[in-house]
Amino acid sequence: MDKGFWRQIQDALFPRTCLLCRGRLDGDEMVSRLLCNDCLGDFECNPKACHRCAEPMTQTEPVSGTLLCGRCQKKPPAFHQILAPYLYCYPVSELIQRFKSQDHMLLNRLLSDLLSDYLMGQLDAEMIKRPDILLPVPTHWRTRLQRGFNPAACLADAVGRQLAIPVNMSVLRKPVMTHSQHDLNRAQRLKNLDQSFALRDGTEVQGREIAVVDDVVTTGSTADVIASLLRDNGAASVQVWAIARTPNQRR
Distance of closest approach, residue 164 Cβ to Zn ion, in angstroms: 30
Minimal CA–CA distance to 193: which of 230, 221, 164, 152?
Answer: 221
| Site map 34..73 versus Zn ion, x via CB under 5 A | --x--x----------x-xx-x-------------x--x-
Closer residue to Zn ion, CB minimum distance, 94 or 232: 94
Distance of closest approach, residue 177 Cβ to Zn ion, in angstroms: 28
Closer residue to Zn ion, CB minimum distance, 20 or 110: 20
Contacts for 103-108 with beta carbons within 8 Å, 24 or more apart? 103/147, 103/148, 103/149, 103/151, 103/154, 106/15, 106/19, 106/34, 107/19, 107/34, 108/151, 108/154, 108/155, 108/158
Distance of closest approach, residue 52 Cβ to Zn ion, in angstroms: 4
Q: Which of 21, 127, 176, 177 binds Zn ion (CB under 5 A)?
A: 21
Distance of closest approach, residue 47 Cβ to Zn ion, in angstroms: 15
Minimal CA–CA distance to 128: which of 63, 54, 199?
Answer: 54
Residues that bind Zn ion (CB under 5 A): 18, 20-21, 23, 36, 39, 50, 52-53, 55, 69, 72
